[in-house]
Chain A
Amino acid sequence: MAMLDVKDINVYYGAIHAVKDISFHVDEGEVVTLIGANGAGKSTILKTVSGLLRSRTGSVTFLESNIGGVPAHKIISRGLAQVPEGRAVFLQMTVEENLEMGGFTRPGSEIDPGLEKVYDLFPRLKERRRQIAGTLSGGEQQMLAMGRALMSKPRLLMLDEPSMGLAPILVEQIFDIIRTMHQAGTTILLVEQNAQMALSVADRGYVLETGRIVTTGTGADLLEDESVKKAYLGG
């Protein structure tokens, strides 16, 4: 059985039908990506999985239990963490306080070892641990958001457009970290507009257009797919 199994979800913002009959799954140990342009419904899907939005139909199953009606604040303790769109770090709190919030549901004894692990992965954050997050650069804030999510020791990590607004060299760095996290055993669901980067790290991908899945396949296949090339990879 898949680790995360999303079946036939339909999500609305008022009258707007943002996500239409979407089904996909993520197996343990995989990196799966959802790619698509602005407004394709990618973030809406992640928000539905993490409980911030509700689907009118279908089901969201994680580790064999239905999480469709579980409130957002109870999702993380099930092993599902999300790095939200636009990072959403707590700007007025210090780097270390942000990370502590990431471990909110963990027992106090796990916080210090958790911090050490995150600082190993992101030495930059260690240098800036006492700094207010609002003073970090965009790339550093993305690292902080990822580190914060890792503090909860997730089984599945969902990343919402980690490359957004970052310089190409930083995008490379962020994707290196995604690879490292994957090699360390974290299952990853990655939402991206940067199809090239996303497909190059992903085992499998789904291509979204205006709320529907139009194509699916392995990362390598989708990179070679003519329609994907045309739409997302500049011919």
Chain B
Amino acid sequence: MEFLSYLISGISLGSVYAIIALGYTMVYGIAKMLNFAHGDVIMVGGYISFCAVSYLGLPGWLSVLLAMAVCTVLGVVIEGLAYRPLRQATSLAVLITAIGVSYFLQNAALLIWGASPKGYTPVVSGQLPLFGGRLTISYVTLLTVGACIVIMIALTLFTGKTKMGKAMRACSENKAAAQLMGINVNRTISLTFAIGSALAAVAGVLLCSFSTSLMPTTGSMPGIKAFTAAVFGGIGSIPGAFLGGILLGIIESLAKAYISTQLANAILFAVLIVVLLVKPSGLLGKYVPEKV
């Protein structure tokens, strides 16, 4: 029963990682850049939701929508101001810019909300007792796992079935050819950032609902872990991000429970290294042979 409870907490933590990783992977897949500011957009989402509930007295669900709206705009603005001018630049320049944006967001949050942690009230409270109370699952956990599955399915359908989603995949493969088809590449990249940032807001709210506290650095560690999850599952792959996130959450939770709380992160990254040594493209990484 104890194992089951660790497993469940791992799956719910992993679901949060998966939601973040989906944002990472989509942006990487289309813009071919690692948006290291993604984790900080999560933090902004958390703060917006916090402010909406604490200062404006809005209900939890409405604060989520507000956070999504603000982060969507934020993501599109970041892309337009910081990344778009670098479209022809080397990937290293873009990477460093992304790190700069990350610091900018953290420090802006520090300025606005201060360094001391804010107490965050979970968007849903209570728990579900199972087996006569021997095992309990919080509603936040159920909400997180549910949200993650819905988001994954929605993204899969979007990229697989809709015209815009297919255009996104076309851009991810070959931008020049996509332009020749009449696809506006800049607009497609903006849309990707919008979707990724809205997901980051959802992840922020869920993350804060678990940890019930919020600081300007709240997003950085989950951001890095979710990036790991995306690479673990195969960067650019939507099911890969989902699988990578869930597995990472489970490994972290079990390592904390049975090996060492301090070593959990080290174990996590060790597993990543082993996986990448065996399968460099990640668990579900794409490999398509190119015919000339």
- A and B: real partners? yes
Residues of A within 8 A of B (CB): 50-52, 71-77, 81-82, 84, 86, 88-93, 97, 100-102, 104-105, 108, 132, 134, 136-138, 141, 148, 152, 165
- Is B2 located at the chain interface by the 8 A CB criterion? no
Chain B 174-201 per-residue mask, 1 if CB under 8 angstroms from chain A, else 0: 1011111111110000000000000000
- Contact status of A73 and B170, CB under 8 A, knowing A88-B177, A137-B291: no
Whether B41 is near chain A, meaning CB under 8 Å from some CB there, is: no
Q: Please give, as numbers and ranges, the residues of chain A lying within 8 Å of B183 by CB-CB distance.
A: 73, 101, 104
Interface set, chain B 180-227, CB cutoff 8 A to A = 180-185
How many chain B residues have a CB neighbour from A under 8 Å? 23
Question: CB within 8 A of A76: which of B173, B181, B286?
Answer: B181
Taken residue by residue from 143 to 186, chain B's Cβ proximity to chain A (1 for < 8 Å, 0 otherwise) reads as 00000000000000000000100110110011011111111110
Q: At the interface, yes or no: B85 with Cβ under 8 Å from chain A?
A: no
Q: A52-B179, A72-B180 are in contact. Are A104 and B163 (CB under 8 A)?
A: yes
A154 CA to B181 CA in the complex, in Å? 11
CA distance A50 to B181 in the complex (A): 11
Question: Contact: A74 with B292, CB < 8 Å?
Answer: no
Given known A-B contacts A100-B163, A134-B291, A141-B291, A84 and B169 have beta carbons under 8 A apart: no
A131 to B164, CA, bound (A): 21
Contact status B176-A101, CB under 8 Å? no
Instruction: Known contacts A134-B289, A136-B291, A138-B292; decide if A93 and B180 are in contact (CB<8 Å).
Output: no
- The interface bits of chain B over 243-270 (1 if a CB of A lies within 8 angstroms of the residue's CB, else 0) are 0000000000000000000000000000
User: Other than the known A82-B180, A92-B173, what 6 A-B pairs have Cβ atoms closer than 8 Å?
Assistant: A71-B184, A73-B179, A76-B181, A101-B170, A101-B183, A132-B288
Interface contact A77-B176, CB-CB below 8 Å:
no
A residues less than 8 Å from B185 (CB atoms): 73
